[in-house]
A and B are shown apart, each in its own frame.
Chain A
Amino acid sequence: MNRQNIWIHITIAAIVITFAGILGQFRNWESKLRSAKTVSDVKSAPKLLTVKRSAEAGEPEVFVKFRPEVTLAEINKITRKNNDRVEDRIEAVKGLTSIDDLDDADAEAVAAQYAAMSNLVVYAEAVNRIELEPTEVFRPVSQADANASSLPDDPLFGEQWALNNAGQNGGKIDAHLDALKAWATTQGSGDVVVAVLDSGVDYTHPDLIGNMWMRPDDVPAYKDGELGSVNDLRGFNAADNQSDPMDDNGHGTHCSGIIGAEGNNGEGIAGINWNVQIMPLKFLGRGGFGTTKDAIEAINYAIDRKRNGVNVRVINASWGSTSKSKALEDTIRAAGEDGILFVAAAGNNGTSNDKNPHYPSNYNLPNVISVASLDRTDTLSSFSNFGVKTVHIAAPGRDILSTWLGEEYREASGTSMATPYVAGTAALILSIEPNLSVAKLRERILKSADKIDSANGKVESGGRLNAAKALLN
């Protein structure tokens, strides 16, 4: 390069930098001007400006599902006019948009404002932010407690009554999933991905590390409209928008061990799948609770990965509440349309979901299985919700031993624990029938249930999950 060319390059660079600075200043002025406008100047519909968010309500935010014919440009125009901004788009559900209100108004009022635009909007619902904090932990079980004489060679397998109930600790013989028989057919496959939508997963746990999903080199990094490119090498974290889905609660790690702790590896326990890929989707915080919005974003991520070639076939959802959300329902439906089974906990209030709905388990969608809990004597757990119309199957959920934080193993109880046995069995089926449709997969699991007295009239199938029978075509 000669001296003359150098000066030409320096001149061009100076012009570009100056232009960028001017542009940035213009944007700054525009932003200040927008925030300085009085709301009444720009609103197209009435808004309850006197209603301020409370400290507990969190950021005012709404989910709005726009009608299909409304373009993104129009959505942006509407939100700008309302002094709002598009916070995120849930790409898996056409028109579903998360909107931030910049006026600090009450989220319910903002939702009502959008819902009133019925020519443009299908529905709008408020989103609330929730503080996330830690939770109580459970009784540790030492390796010395184990009955190491059982098959496979995992030293704590003897404690896993759900997989093989030989009457240990007062259990009822054969009140189990019949895992030994199932494993004679298949022990799972690393080709099947189960997304654990939870508090994250301790992907360094020695009994899980070999079955953790990692984004393959040929799958592009996740791109979110608002977050940009996300480092999703190990999964997704919607709780704090960081890329690391490490578990800081323990619940997600426990569920993951039930689904896919490595089997016959001489370590800890065996999952219902010895081989599988567990994809951590973190949306519950350290306290074990989180927001509907973050759940939606994480499901949207799983659908995106599926569309990019990752074989996500099952989502495990060991959580819920009585809060109903059309946006969450639509996102779960979209997952089903992409071939993903959604297995959900029925809830722990000991009540009928037919009368008092629990979500997401109560969404009447063709890809949802709602799971109740049994104890080691085949009795419906006293805490378990039920419902012959709305809860589909029962599975072991009391005194369940599984992986925990810090390379530990703990017992825990809840429909949270019953759910991953069903999700894991779905993965086991897919290991030998990878092309099975969601409808067939769901039907196979429910129709093969062992009929038991305690589930009769309590769950739709009238029975307990049987993994061995579910593998039979």
Chain B
Amino acid sequence: MGFNQESAVKGAKTDLAKRLGVGENDIETVSVGAKDFPDMSLGAPVADEMSAQMISSGWTINLSARGKNYEYRADKYQLRLCGFNGTNHIIES
């Protein structure tokens, strides 16, 4: 599946709502911005993952719900959740 900024934000909201058991309307988009990531895991590797060490362009998506902030990262073809319960997650690719 491919992403643009808009669909990445939507995917992130859908995922967070599901994880927290809240409605998507309860999730606030704090900020969305273009970013160069250090590698092809978007700087958010999962266990045992090795990634190409080439600077990659994408977006950071900061969401808020129930008073907490959550960071997602995406590029054209992948969406990741950073540091949720201490680990990174590949949400969609």
Contacts and interface: CB of A to CB of B under 8 A. Distances in A.
Interface in B1-54: 1-2, 38-41, 43, 45-54
B55 A414 contact: yes
Given A133-B78, A135-B40, A199 B52 contact: yes
Contacts of A295: 50
Given A135-B40, A288-B40, A413 B54 contact: yes
B50 A284 contact: yes
A412 B89 CA distance: 26
A325 B48 contact: yes
A288 B45 contact: no
Interface string B61-93: 000000000000001111000000000011001
A458 interface: no
A319 B53 CA distance: 5
A226 interface: no
A130 B57 contact: no
Contacts of A135: 40, 52, 56, 75-78
A386 B5 CA distance: 33
A415 interface: yes
Interface residues of A, number: 49
A136 B58 contact: yes
A383 B38 contact: yes
A147 interface: no
Interface residues of B, number: 28
B93 A136 contact: no
A340 interface: no
Contacts of B51: 284, 288-290, 319-321
A254 to B, nearest CB: 8
A110 to B, nearest CB: 14
A350 B37 CA distance: 12
Contacts of A283: 50
Interface centre among B1, B40, B46, by most chain A C-beta atoms within 10 angstroms, is: B40
22 contacts: A126-B47, A128-B47, A134-B78, A135-B75, A288-B39, A288-B56, A289-B49, A290-B50, A292-B49, A292-B50, A318-B54, A319-B51, A321-B41, A321-B45, A321-B51, A323-B50, A325-B48, A348-B39, A348-B54, A350-B38, A383-B38, A413-B55
Would you list the 6 A-B pairs with minimal beta carbon distance, nearest first?
A288-B40, A133-B93, A134-B77, A348-B38, A414-B54, A289-B51
Given A134-B76, A345-B53, A414-B55, 5 more contacts: A132-B93, A135-B40, A287-B77, A291-B48, A325-B48
Interface of B: 1-2, 38-41, 43, 45-58, 75-78, 89-90, 93
